[in-house]
Structure 1
């Protein structure tokens, strides 16, 4: 499972690098007199991929915003219950979102949807990064809930 989370982290980093390269190409292109077609769209798709693929590694690293002030003031029993409830809600929402994201990927693939810009990119490609990120995030939430149930903090 660590390999899957590491893969999501590497893919997110590659998306960030891709955004940098597309923007750099656009800046250099303007200076030299050429335009990179659909640069803004590509950077937007990669940014969405970066964000969603980075959800699970960020959760595992403890980087998501939490209500630590509230949790630290609770006794251990209620604290575990509040954390478990939050993880259960998050897991439910994550699974719901992942399911519908994959359904959208399948629909875009089935109908052959293309990006509306100059570059006719099949939409299922960038959508699949979003769906993959949501799926791995739901898995990370499930892992955190499992660890909490087994007594880990």
Structure 2
């Protein structure tokens, strides 16, 4: 079980690095678009399309790591007024609900990406990007979130702390 938890944490961390790279590339593309329009008075055909794909990729690829870090919005109204046992049970119930939803979304996105791949769907823009690529990345991110939710449920069931919280309250660092 320890190996599974480490692998899921590693996948979430790797996806978070990929999400950060997507945001960096997004920044470069938008700045290039601004510079080209300002200097040469024309637009890069791919810039807005790929900026949207990269934003989507960053969002989906970062979800699992964000959950593991305790960064998603939570309503803790009841948790502050309940003893630890019921609080953990409530957290398990919420995690299970999230797991069902993310599992469904993983399946739905996977079906969408597979259909685009089989059908050869492409964007209607000049780049004619195969839609299976950005849809596949979204599916991967959603699948990682689903695995992180499974790992979270395991941690809650075994009495382990489900969130990785750094001592200083900031972003965890490798030491």
Query: Do the structures match in fold with TM over 0.5?
Result: yes
| 1:21 matched to 2:28 | yes
Q: What CA distance in whole angstroms lies between the structure 2 residues aligned with 1:22 and 1:118?
A: 17
User: Which structure: greater helix fraction?
Assistant: 1
User: Separation in 1 of the partners of 2:156 and 2:29?
Assistant: 42
For structure 2, list consecutive stretches of 5 or more residues without a partner in the other structure. Answer: 1-6, 162-175
Counterpart selection for 1:32 from 25, 39, 61: 39
Two-structure CA RMSD over aligned residues (Å): 1.0
* Pair 1:118-2:126 in alignment: yes
- The equivalent residue for 1:11 is 18
Task: Specify every segment of 5 or more residues in structure 1 that has no aligned partner in the other structure, as ranges.
Answer: none
TM-score by length of 2: 0.84
CA–CA separation in structure 2 for the residues paired with 1:7 and 1:26: 29
SS of the residue corresponding to residue 118 of structure 1 reads coil
Task: After TM superposition, give the deviation of residue 22 of structure 1 in Å.
Answer: 1.0
Instruction: Give runs of ≥4 in structure 1 deviating > 6 Å.
Output: none
Match of 1:53 in 2: 61
SS of structure 1 residue aligned to 2:78: helix
**Distance in 2 of aligned mates of 1:142 and 1:89:** 11
Q: 1-side partners of 2:18 and 2:121: how far apart?
A: 24
TM-score between the two structures when normalised by the length of structure 1:
0.96
- 2:51 matched to which residue of 1? 43
How many residue pairs match? The answer is 153
C-alpha separation between the residues in 1 aligned to 2:95 and 2:82? 17
Aligned partner of 2:168 in structure 1 is: none
Q: Partners of 1:18 and 1:123 in 2: how far apart?
A: 19
- Who is 1:81 aligned against? 89
